[in-house]
Structure 1
Amino acid sequence: MKALLLISLVELLAGGDGERWQPRSEQARVIIYRQREFGGNSYSIKLNDKKLATLPTNRSLQVEVAPGRVKIESVRDFFSENQELWLNLQPGQTYYVKAVEEIDFLTRTLLMAPISKEQAERELQKVKPLEPISNHSGNE
């Protein structure tokens, strides 16, 4: 609940219309989040090969991007496998991506999958937001 209030306040102070999770009409919004995981590692999140942030456990990252086909990638180190997720973004829409670390005997991977709005909003209530990132062009 605190996370949702904080995000609403940040959008209001940033000149937003106060409506939670509403991207600008010419942009699409992507929200990537991880729930609390025991001993989870942080992963770099890239959008179209450009680093957005490092995403630890129990955090969410949101970004507004130009509509179109985008590649989201999780990257860590030599002992981890990079994971890619491709999305076709429509203007004015919000997309939710859940990330979960999978640990195998020799490797680790941050798996990512699109999630329904209803499930994501329930799970995001317990997740803290990272600093908001806005106006990231998906074509850079």
Structure 2
Amino acid sequence: MRLIINNKAVTLMELIVVVVLIGLIAAFTIPDYKKSLQRSDEKEAINNLAMVWEAMKIYRVKTGDFVTQDLAGVADINQLLKINIIESNMDYSCTYNGGASLLVCDADSPDGWGLRFHTSSGVFSGVARGVIFCYGGSCPTCQATGC
């Protein structure tokens, strides 16, 4: 009589190959995923800062001047300018410098880069009023001269 033995076990070599393949796939996809998230944050910040800039122009028409106070976050910006920026990974703020009659609005990333625009009538940081530009690090796609 002949016995049929059915071995359905996974060998150690097969297990090692699978683990190595999963590691290789992760090594190539995780950095791309992080870059995609940064580009997404940047596009969102560009759109939000553009909305803030347009709201600033409306505010100026109504009051005769740009905002002349600090705005320390999304809640302050939304309340004063009557817009609806949604909280995200970026930290938004606007800082007023009375001596220079300058308001600078920033969107700062937790990764160390940020986007900015200003309301100065002249050139500030090499960029004209209302132009959104990269500062303080390496932005995913924007440059220091504009997005």
| TM-score normalised to structure 2 length | 0.27
Larger Rg: 2
More strand by share: 1
More helix by share: 2
